[in-house]
Homo-oligomer: A and B are copies of this chain.
Amino acid sequence: MRFSSLDELEAGCRDLRGGDPVVAAVASARQAELTKPLGSLGRLEEMTVWLARWQGRAMPRLERVAILVFAGNHGVTARGVSAYPAAVTEQMVANYARGAAAINQLAKLAGAELTVIPLELDRPTGDFTQTVAMDTAEFLSAVDIGYHSVPANCDLLALGDMGIGNTTAASALCAALLGGSAARWVGRGTGLDDKGLQRKREVVDAALARHRLIIANPLAAAAALGGRELTAMMGATLAAHHRQIPTVLDGFIGTAAVLPLARIDARLLDHCVAAHVSAESGHRDLLEALQLQPLLNLDMRLGEASGAAVAILLLRASLACHVGMATFAEAGVAGRVE
C-alpha cells in the first residue's frame, strides 16, 4: 500500500511537482515561429505547451495514451436518486468489455488504450445518509488501486467513471468542500424528473447535516461522501502528478473526484486539463471554483471518460500542428509588417 494512513496520504498531497518550465518556454518559442499569426491557433497553442511542460519534451508525443475508467456502486442508490437501477453499473462494465459503449468507440478514434477497472461492484459503499460511504481502510484501498493503475511510459492520461448514483456523491462532495446547499450542486444526473430531483436534493442535504463535523477535512469528506470510483480517480490523478503525466479530467464526476486534492493544494491539479463543461448543473460552478477552463462545451453528460476522449482529439490536433508545421524561415513566408 502506498499510503497506509490519511496522514501519509495528506503528506503525499504536499509533494508538489511543476513540470519543466524551460521546456515549456522552448515549445512556446517554436509556436511563435510557425507559419501562422502568433496566437492564431488559440488554445491549440496552449495545449502543446502544456504537454511539453509536463512531458519535459519540447516536441511532445502522444504515442501511449491511456484512458482509465473506474466503476463503483453506491449505497445511496437505495434512496431513489437515479433514473436507472444500480444493476446498470455492472451491465455497463460488461458492455465496455464487449467494446459496445460510447467510450470504446471514442477511445479507438482517439488512439487511446482503454482500461476499465471495476471496484467491488458487489459491495456498494455505505448509504451516506446513514453512515460514511467508506471507512478509512476502504478509502485508502481505493486510493491505492487508482494510484497504481496509471500505466508505465504513459504520455497522457485520461480518467473516467461509471457508477449509478455517483452524481449524488459528487454533488455532496462539492457542497461539503465548496459550500452552498444541495440546490447549488444537485442536477438531474442521467435524467431524473422533478420529483426525483427534489428527492436527490433532500438526500444530499441530509448527508451534509449528518457528516458536518468531519467534512471540513477534504480527505475525510471524500471518504464520507464519495465513492470508490471517485476515490480511485483521485488516486490516479495524484500518481500522475507525482510522475508529471499530463492528465485529462472528464465531466462533473471526474472534476468532483479531484476536488479534495485541490482543497489541499490547488497546484496539485496543474498537470490537469478539463476536457469539457458538462450539461450536469453544478459542473460550470465547480470548474470556476477550480479555475479550470474546459476545452469543449458540447452538452455532454455521459461520463465514462467520453468527454475526455473527445478532448484527446483536440490534443492530437494541437500536437500535429506543433510538430508538422514549417517555421516562417523554413517556408520563406514574410513576417509581420512592423
Show the binding face of A for B, using Cβ within 8 Å. 34-44, 82-85, 87-88, 91-92, 94-95, 98-102, 104-106, 108-109, 190-191, 279, 295-302, 306, 309-310, 313-314, 316-317, 320-321, 323-326, 330-337
Question: Which of B37, B42, B320 lies in contact with A109, CB distance below 8 A?
Answer: B320
Known: A298-B43, A302-B36, A313-B313. A324 touches B91 (CB 8 A): no
A301 x B84 contact (CB < 8 A): no
Q: A91: nearest residue on chain B (CB-CB)?
A: B333
Q: Taking the nearest CB of chain B, how far is it from the CB of A268, in angstroms? A: 26
Q: A188: nearest residue on chain B (CB-CB)?
A: B37
Q: Taking the nearest CB of chain B, how far is it from the CB of A5, in angstroms? A: 39
Q: A190: nearest residue on chain B (CB-CB)?
A: B37
Question: Which of B38, B95, B298 lies in contact with A44, CB distance below 8 A?
Answer: B298
A334 x B84 contact (CB < 8 A): yes
Q: A301: nearest residue on chain B (CB-CB)?
A: B40
Question: Which of B42, B101, B325 lies in contact with A325, CB distance below 8 A?
Answer: B101
B35 x A326 contact (CB < 8 A): no
B100 x A38 contact (CB < 8 A): no
Question: Which of B295, B324, B336 lies in contact with A100, CB distance below 8 A?
Answer: B324
Bound form: Cα–Cα A83–B155 in Å: 38
When distances are taken between beta carbons in the complex, the residues of chain B under 8 Å from A326 are 95, 98, 100-101
A91 x B331 contact (CB < 8 A): yes
Known: A108-B320, A190-B40, A300-B41. A334 touches B88 (CB 8 A): yes
A300 x B331 contact (CB < 8 A): no
When distances are taken between beta carbons in the complex, the residues of chain B under 8 Å from A300 are 40-44
Query: Which of A190, A301, A317 has the most CB atoms of chain B within a 10 A radius of its CB?
Result: A317
When distances are taken between beta carbons in the complex, the residues of chain B under 8 Å from A337 are 82-85
A105 x B279 contact (CB < 8 A): no
Known: A306-B41, A325-B100. A95 touches B296 (CB 8 A): no
B37 x A317 contact (CB < 8 A): no
When distances are taken between beta carbons in the complex, the residues of chain B under 8 Å from A306 are 41
Q: Taking the nearest CB of chain B, how far is it from the CB of A295, in angstroms? A: 7
Q: Taking the nearest CB of chain B, how far is it from the CB of A296, in angstroms? A: 7
Q: Taking the nearest CB of chain B, how far is it from the CB of A237, in angstroms? A: 23
